Structures are given as structure tokens and as C-alpha cells.
Structure 1
Amino acid sequence: MRKTLTTAVAALAVGSLVLTGCGQKNRSGGNQNGDKTTSASAPLAALNIKPRDQVKDGGTLRLAISTLPTSWNPMHIDNNLVDLDSIIWQFIGANNFDIAEDGTPKPNPNYIESAKVDTKDGKQVVTLHLNPKATWNSGRTIDYTDYQATWKSSNGENDEFLPSTTDGFKQITSVEKGDKNTDVVIKYKSTYPDWTATWRNVMPKEGVSDPDTFNFGWKKPNPDWFAGPFIPTKVDQTSKTLTVKRNDKWWGDKAKLDTVTFKAMDDAAKTKAFANKEIDVADTIITKDGYETAKKRDDADMRAAGSLQWRHFTFNTKSANLSNKDVRQAIVKGINRPAIAKSDLAGMPVSPDTLMLGNHFFMPGQAGYRDNSADDTYDPEAAKKGLDEAGWKMQGDYRIKDGKTLTINCAELTGVPTSGNEGALFKQDMAKIGVRVNLVNTPASDMEKVLTNHSFDVIAFTWQGTPYPMANVRQIYGATAADSTQPSQSNFSQLIDPEVEKLIPKVDTESDVSKRRELANQVDKIIWDDVMTLPLYRRISFTAVPKNLANFGAATFQTVHAEDIGFQK
């Protein structure tokens, strides 16, 4: 469940199994009939898939991102951002696996010719036969030593490394050479169904072999450390633009586009820039104004698909007034989740009530989904009773205990309308049950710092999923490792539940899919009960593009090779 963060919509990302029954087949655009999109009606992909011979050679694709990377190692805890991890990396990095429309992974032949999985005495062995033509831009062949260095940097054995997650890596006992340097033999402690989630990326050994380089050596993009169809050529801090060009050292199909630019801008600016034809793509459109602005462009095609993004509140369980589980349970009963969803999504062509989320791992309609939110249904009277029983008594407008007012500091990301709206509604809901809320203005650029320093009581942001919903549970909801007393670096709630810790290794290793889903739902119910996070709703992905853009758009899972993206002939 490796997750990733984006700051403009505050989205952080996750790993997963195959999505089934979630939507329709791939189509070139979404919501063409004007109907309200639901979780069930959203297509799995809207990418305008075209064969390479129908795509022009040349041209520039102008994309928008939330922020320019301040570091270029996507496996580092502070760089686990959607902009870098998913968008930019698609063009410049080693992407080992292609994801099909339904979420099924398969080796990307540009990097891995074949993969074999064997299990003996309950222990899994994965053998990768790498493409011998695959090289880093330095000219060095990608080989087993890169996989070995990537594993050692993220397996948690050396705590000087600061990886975004150790999940998947810590289950590995060795990474060794096979018959050739381009054969990689990966041995696991047990079975590990989501091994492809762990190895979706591989890093060059030069950039990850020691903690100092891993943590601090990626401040500027080193072209030698990338291995994609494009190569970074310029980072302009004045215009906040990254430029990548076609990589002459690329061994695969020649990239259709000459260049791709990534310009940092906020959501409102993004849709205006698209309407004015200053950029070619406006993705993650989440407001009525943005949607209507983007559609004004004369060649606009609004592509819609189901999304793995979901809004939620994270609770800092170590903060003074939220350390008591009874208090947290009472507070969430006072949060009107459906009202927040309707307000956030007002004017968008969606049905908010169908997007409400009752699970931390599975999306509505996905195999394994179960609504475990019943105990947290909006009930302000129950919330008041719970706070009374916890010793917080009303005195005037607010609740007092031991001479102190029940106060919550809610981080509100400046320039992020969704965050501001949710903060305001949270404050209103809390006032009704006697809880004072301070809305703390927090620059979106400081979000990573706020999360990792735990300098908040409550914060709303978006988790971004991947095709592996049951992978890496520990990353967000557990300790750094089994028997550790330290929460995972991405466990921003800081809560370690012994029952979750017992279930995590079972979820990680269970090979029977039905049993595994049941185990994941047991974990989910505990997370709801602990109030580590409070899911609100899932999003539908709306992406505005010019009609002639091929092999690009909105998708729940599906990936497309960057070298195939371009404009139709």
C-alpha cells in the first residue's frame, strides 16, 4: 500500500490488488452524456489509446504539477510525492511494471524480460531476467547490484537511511546475482503476494548505497541516475518549470514527443492555463469553477475515470487533547462526513452519496470492499454524550476539563480550497458539540514538514492509492518494524495498535485472496475503532486535455509508456 503525497490537493499514495466491478471499459472521454458520475458508472480508464503509427513524431507536451521537486529520490520519506513519484517518474525513471486497465501488473519489457515466482517450504523466490539493453543514462547496464542496493537502502536494517517505507523490502532475506549480472534472485522470508509493488522502481546503486547520498544526494537531478525515454535538461526556478527531452540513450521505442515540460502551479491557475492553451493537461479537477473553466477551451476533451484518491482526516493521537481514544471516537461522531463531501464536490458532475468511503483499503465496488464505518455515523448527540463521559463538561460555549478548554488545532493548507472548506466545516461541526477548533494556516509547501514533525492535531489531505490495496499496511498504520515501539515514518497518527501488529504479517503473506481480504478488513475495523484516520470520500478523476492527445488522460490503474504519448496524426 505504498502511498504518495501531492501538496496542491494534498494527496499522499498506496499499493493494491486488482480492482473488479468498479467501472466500465476504457473510453476516450468521461461523462459525455451529462449524467452524474458514480463509483459504479466511472470507467476504469479514459486514455484515448492509439497505436504508435497513429501518433505524430515530435511536439511538446506541457503538463502542470503542484510543486517542483526539491529532491529527486522518490524512495525517500520527504520525497514521496505524487508529482515526482507518479507523474515525472513516468518519463525519466525506471518503471519496472506496466499496470493493465483492471490493475493487473506485468513486467515492462523495456526493463524486465521475464519474471518467475517459486515457493518452496513456504518461502518465495522471485527471479527477474532483466533486459540486457537497459542502462542508466551513465551508460552502465542495470543489473542485480542496483536491486541489491535498493533493497539495502529500504529494508530498515540501517536506520540512517530514511525511506518512505520498509514494507516489502524487510520481508526479503537476500538479493543476489543469478546466472548473469542481469539475472536477479530475490529471496523472501515467506510468501509475499505483492512483490511487484516493492519492485515497481529500482534505483541506481550510485545514488542509494550510503545514507548520506540516499538522503541528501538528490538535491539536483543527476541525469546519470535516471533511465527513462526522457532525460531532465533544465529546472527553471524562476518560471517553476522542469523540462525533459527525448533521451538519445534510450534503448526502447523512440519517444514520440520531443520534449515535455512540467510547470508548478495551483489548481485554479492550472485550469485557467489550460483554457488559455498555455498548458495541455489539467488533471485532478476537483471544483465546479475548475471544471467549467477547463471546458471553455474549444478543443477540450474532459476525460473521466475512477480514482484511487480519497479525502480524509488524520488524527495525531499523541497530541494532548486527542490521546484518549474515547475522545477521538466521540469527536468523529460529531463530524458530518456526507455534508463535507457534498460541499467539497458541489457543482461537480458526480453523486457524492455514492462516493462515501467506509474502508481504508478498498474502494466502493472493489472486491474486498466492506463499509466498516457504522460506528462513526454522524450523531452529534452521541458525540456530546461521549465527551461528557470522558470528563469534558460544557461550560459556556465549550467543554472544560481540569481547567482547560477542549481545543483542537486543525492544519489548513493555504491556497488549497478543499482544505479550507473542510477546515471550516470541521470547525462548525465541532462548535456544535462544544469543541474549540483553531484553524492553523499552513503553506502547502510545508505540508511534508508538518506531517513528519507531527505539528498538528488534525489535518485533512488526500491519500493516493496504487494497484495494491493490501500491500504495506505497516507503512501508514503500523510500527517501523515488528516489535518496534516507533511508528512508521508515514504513520502520521503515531498510533501503534498491538492487534494491528499481529495482523500485519498475516495480511502481508496470506496467498489465499479471499482470506487476505478478510484479514485486511479486520485491520480496517480496528483502524476505524482507533480513529487513526477518518475517511471521507473517494474522488472521480477528471482530466482536461486537447482532443488530439493520444495515450494520456484519466485512469484508475492503467499505465501507458511515456514514449507512446503524443498527438494524433
Structure 2
Amino acid sequence: MKLTRRAATVVLAGSVMVGMAGCAKSDRTTDSNTASGSSSAGSGGGTASDTFTFGAAGAPEVFDPYYASDGETFRITRQIFQGLLGIKPGTADPQPELAESWEPSKDGLSWTFKLRQGVKFTDGEVFNAAAVCYNFERMFDQNEVAQAGPAEYWAYTMLGFKGSETESLYKSCEAKDDSTAVINLTRYTSDFPILLTLESFSMQSPKALKDGDANNVQKEGDGFKYPAYAMAPVGTGPYKLSKYDEANKTITLVRNDDFWGDKAKTANLVFKVIPDESTRRQELEAGSINAYDLPNPADWKGLEEKGNQVLVRPAFNILYMGLNPEKNDKLQDIRVRKAIYMALNRDELVQTQLPEGAKVATQFMPDTVAGYNTALQPMKYDPEAAKALLKEAGAEGMTLQFAYPSEVSRPYMPDPQKIHDALRANLEAIGIKVDVVTKPWNGGYLDGVDNGLFDAWLLGWTGDYNSANNFIGTFFGSDVNDFHTWKTDFGKTLSKELDDANGIVDEGERTTAYEAVNKKIMEDYLPGLPISHSPPALVVGKGVEGLTASPLTAEMFDTVTVTKS
């Protein structure tokens, strides 16, 4: 069975959409992605607050990051847990965290991690190599319910579990001594070890996992019943969970005073769940929260004029139009796919519907990822040439069912309906009859994409980590495939080319191979249509300093200070 990752496009959870008034352009006064305080409340004035309050778009389902798959949960667990590898602030690049260094064998199948010493979990248990191996074996050995459900990130990265038919990328873990752990793989992949930066691979207290029966996930109706541990997690991070007040929709973390590194700047970190974006803005302006995510791009300028800071993340995403040639046989002809692409006025779309800093995509990955092909140029907007191609292919007047999601805003797609309307008009201008379909994001849309129910659809991807395989491998690979291209002859060839590139140990050779595959995707296959890259933002209020925006939306809050005027 092939896997799709649309249900796990969750580095940042979508918030309920608020209609965008007018153009999404912004005349921002700063390019900084780090909060440095506002002119009205600098570090020299006012009194320090011991609490930083963040307006969250949604509530967490669990606090065990291994079973989580949404950005709102990860935003919280990121403050509580740490992994072997972390992410350098403001980038998508890995850096040491609980592992001080790591070294592969020549064949890339064994990785030796030298662990940080003097680290303890918040229950007092020592972090060491035995704890690392316990965590990996716990993740590997899951019951059937977890394998088919909440253990998503292991399934998508490691592929198989203990005893499953699918061979796992993970083979074993050895504790050589207290400060040395060796992780063995069944095959080489360019995703390892950077995939260890994912929240799902966080290190958790073995004692707490055992005592809390952490793996006892059960099916319950359409969802899952989690063990007690899932709501009482134990990590090594700068904060620890104090209270989850479901009635008042607040999650309170407190500083971990025994943290091995620099202590958190504020004693309390509070997440206040406010699903509506306009309400989050009102609460920021009222001073009841200090920050929130995904401000409406049309509001950026107004927010800054009131003394707030809009921190713009570097774009690490892609918006695309997916195409399903199995459902609509006209799409099997590459001339038709090219005609559709040439009909899309992407320059105009970027200028009118996306925030400042957005740009037209030339391929299915951002230019910061190794393997990006700098020689590729955007396909020219040419509706007349598109009409000619449709005529040549015998597809004049064809009907295209074109879907978009409702009840959501994504970093790469701030207003799905407006973007869909603009692209639909482009298609109709070359004579294509568009059958419009819309479904709620979590109410049929993602399932519809996964099950191939639409001819064409709007979707995108925010990268999990800095790897070509995390973009085009996720889209068109042999194990994980979002475009269902394994059903086509060219798709089978493409999957093999991607598998071959991912298996190249030498970094330079691998980068060259991915550049070549990107060229083939855009010039020979065109399985889908990359549209744009868009920089999402978050906003912080007056007196907030020390928050660095992350292209992965993986912000840490332990460096934040709050000054009350």
C-alpha cells in the first residue's frame, strides 16, 4: 500500500479562515525575523513579566509528541522535550541538542551519537544511552492501533514497525556506554539523521513511559484513547507541563529550574486557545496575549502601526495544483498538463493574493534545499500557446473538476477560495470548463485528496526538515506518494530516480542527482504544477523580545522576555 502524507501536513496547524479584505500586500517597516522589542516598550522601560502568553489556534489532543501530528501540539511539546538533534534558530539546519556530535559509518548504516552528559529528565531520571535506546525501541514496538493511527511520523519516516510486513528503516540501537549510542539502519537515506529533529523523535523519560503504560493506545469510536502518560509527559526541555485547563482552554508550562542549559527567561509559559484569528488580534491589542501565529497578511501593516512586530519567517513551503490523470484521462497527455500550467498567471497571483516576499515557484522545493535546480525558470504565462496545446491534444473545451479546501488557512495558502478563484478564471480563459468542488479541510477535503476523488486540487507542504527527499520524495516517492503517480508509467520511473538519489551517500553526488530529477519533473513529467512559495508570519506585542521566527514554524519560547509598560 502506498502512503500519502496530506493528513500529516501539520508542521503548522491551520486556523479557521478569516476573509482577507483587499490585497495581501504589506508595506512592512522591518525585515527582521527576531523580536527585538518595540519603540513604545523597550528593554529599558516598564517592569519584567514572569509570564509569556501565546494565542494558539487550536488545542492539543495529547502531550506525547510521538503520537502527535499537528502543529499546535508540537508548538507546546517543543518547549517540554528535546531530541538528539535540534534546529538552529532562524534556519532549517540541524544543530546539536541532546547529542553533542554524531558520526556515520562509511556505508551510512550505523550512526554513533556522543551524548550530552549531566542531563536529567524532569522526573529526576538520568538521560543516557540506555534512555536513547529505550525510546527508539518504544517507538519501534507499537501495537496495531498505533501503527495504523497516531504513530504517523514513524510510519512516514521509518516506514515499518517491529513485526510489520513493511521493512523498517530503523534496525537497532546499542548503548556502547552511558554517553555513546549507536543507531543502526537497514539502508541508507539522506533523511537520516536530520529526521531526528522532528518532535516525534523527542527523548522521553523511560521510567515515566513505563509507569504510564505509554504505548497502550486503543481505538475509541472514530478516534483513539490514549494512556495516562499522554497527558503527563516527562522530557528534558526548558519547560515542563503544569496544567491543562480544558474548560478555560489554557495550557500552562512552568520553567524547568533543573534544565541543563540556560534557564528559560520567563517562569510561566501559557498557551491560550483562540480558534478565530480576528479574536486573537483583538486579544493581542487588549494585552491579554503577547503573540499569535498566522496574522492575516492584509493586517500586517496595521499591526505594526500599533506598535506590534510582525516576524516574517523565510518561506520553506510550496503551494501546488495537484493533477489526477487516473480520474481525468485528458490529464494523461503532458500537452494538457503543460497547457494548464501555461494558463496560470502565477506572477499576478503572487502579487495580489500572497504576502510580501512570496515568489513564483520553478520546482517542488524552496531554493534553500540542496538539490534545488537554479537553472530552471518559471514556465511562461501564455494563454494563447495554452489554447494551441489543448487543440493539438484534442482537449478543447475539456471539463476539469478543481477542488479547494474551506475552513482553513495555511502558511502557503492564506485564502484558499481567493487563490482558487484566480486560478479558475485563468483556466476558463483558455476554454476549460471548471467544475468547482470545495470541502472542509478536516471534513472531507484531505480524505478526498488521499483517495483520488478530484481531477485537480490545491494543496501544499511546509517542510519538516531541510532535505530534498522531504519535498519531492514525499510527493513522488515509491514509499510515500502524495500525487498517486505510481499508477502511471512515468511515475514509476520517477519513483525509482528519487529512490536512487536518496540512496547516494556522497552529498555532492546526491545534490547533483536531485538537481537532475528536478529538471525531469518540470520538463519531462510535470506530474503536478508548483505555484508559489509564501513566507508565513507571526506577530508579537509590545515589550516582547527574544523570539526568533523559524522557517519550520518551530519557535522556541525560552529566550523570550516580556516587559510591561
Change over 3 Å in CA distance of 1:137–1:434 after alignment to 2: farther
Deviations 1:173-232 (A, max 9, x none): 532232336642112345545423221223657477577589935498421355533334
* Residue 434 in structure 1 maps to residue 428 in structure 2: no
Measured in 2, the distance between the counterparts of 1:333 and 1:493 equals: 20
Task: Check 1:313–1:210 CA distance in 2 against 1; reply closer, same or farther (3 A cut).
Answer: farther
User: Which residue matches 1:90?
Assistant: 78
Matched with 2:363 is 359
Match of 1:230 among 224, 230, 239: 239
- The answer to whether residue 416 in structure 2 is matched with residue 419 in structure 1 is yes
Q: What TM-score, normalized to structure 2?
A: 0.75
CA distance in 2, matches of 1:537, 1:565: 32
| Residues 449-460 of structure 1: pairs in structure 2 closer than 5 A | 449-460=447-458
Alpha carbons of 1:367 and 1:520: their partners in 2 closer, same or farther (altered >3 Å)? closer
Map 1:263-278 → 2, pairs under 5 A = 263-278=273-288
Distance 1:275 1:375, change over 3 A: closer
Q: Against the structure 1 CA distance between its residues 196 and 272, is the aligned structure 2 distance closer, same or farther, given a 3 Å change threshold? A: farther
The answer on whether the counterparts of 2:468 and 2:514 sit within 8 Å (CA) in structure 1 is yes
Q: Contact 1:284–1:541 (CA<8 Å) still a contact in 2?
A: yes
In structure 2, relative to structure 1, the CA distance for the partners of 1:56 and 1:523 (3 Å cut) is: farther
Equivalent residue of 2:418, what SS?
helix
Q: Is the 8 A contact 1:130 1:143 kept in 2?
A: no
Q: Is 2:12–2:71's contact at 8 Å kept on the other side of the alignment?
A: yes
Q: Indicate how the Cα distance of structure 1 residues 60 and 533 shifts in structure 2: closer, same or farther if over 3 A, else same.
A: farther
2:464 and 2:470 in contact (8 A); partners too: no
How many pairs were matched up?
Answer: 507
Which residue pairs with 1:465 in the alignment? 463
2:352 alignment counterpart: 343
Uncovered stretches (5+) of structure 1, i.e. residues with no partner: 12-30, 36-41, 400-405, 482-487
Give the 5 Å matches for 1:71-470: 71-72=62-63, 74=65, 79-85=68-74, 87-100=75-88, 101=90, 103-108=92-97, 111-112=98-99, 114-120=100-106, 123-129=109-115, 131=117, 133-135=119-121, 141=127, 142-151=131-140, 163-164=152-153, 166=155, 169=158, 172=169, 174-180=171-177, 183-189=180-186, 191-200=188-197, 201-202=201-202, 204=204, 206=209, 212=218, 216-218=224-226, 221-224=230-233, 226-236=235-245, 240-247=249-256, 252-257=261-266, 258-288=268-298, 290-297=299-306, 299-320=307-328, 324-326=332-334, 327-345=336-354, 348=355, 350=356, 355-363=359-367, 368-370=371-373, 374=377, 376-394=379-397, 399=398, 406-414=399-407, 416=409, 418-446=415-443, 448-470=446-468
How much has 1:146 moved relative to structure 2? 0.5
TM-score by length of 1: 0.74
Distance 1:425 1:308, change over 3 A: same
Q: What's the secondary structure of 1:501's corresponding residue?
A: helix
Equivalent pair of 2:54/2:271 in contact (CA under 8 Å): yes
Q: Is the 8 A contact 2:110 2:182 kept in 1?
A: no
The CA distance in 2 between the partners of 1:409 and 1:558, in whole Å, is 29
Unaligned runs of 5+ in 2: 18-25, 38-42, 160-167
CA contact (8 A) 1:333 1:376 kept: yes
Asked if the contact 1:414–1:443 (Cα under 8 Å) also holds between the matched residues in 2, the reply is yes
CA 1:567–1:504 in structure 2 vs 1: closer, same or farther (change >3 Å)? same
Q: CA deviation digits over 1:140-172, x for unaligned, max 9?
A: 853311023324569xx9778852365653574
Distance 1:427 1:217 in 2: 42
Q: Render the CA deviation track for 1:129-149: whole Å, top value 9, x for unaligned.
A: 254633265958533110233
1 CA distance for matches of 2:154 and 2:133? 21
8 Å CA contact retained: 2:343, 2:386:
yes
Partners of 1:246 and 1:558 lie apart in 2 by: 22
Alignment partner of 2:292: what SS? coil
Partner of 1:39: none
The answer to whether the Cα contact below 8 Å between 2:323 and 2:331 also exists between their aligned partners in 1 is no
* 2:482 alignment partner in structure 1: 492
Measured at CA, do residues 420 and 373 of structure 1 come closer, stay the same or move farther in structure 2, by a change above 3 Å? Answer: farther
SS at structure 2 position matched to 1:292: helix
**Which stretch has the larger CA shift, 205-214 or 497-506?**
205-214
Distance 1:374 1:322, change over 3 A: farther
Identity of aligned residues (%): 17
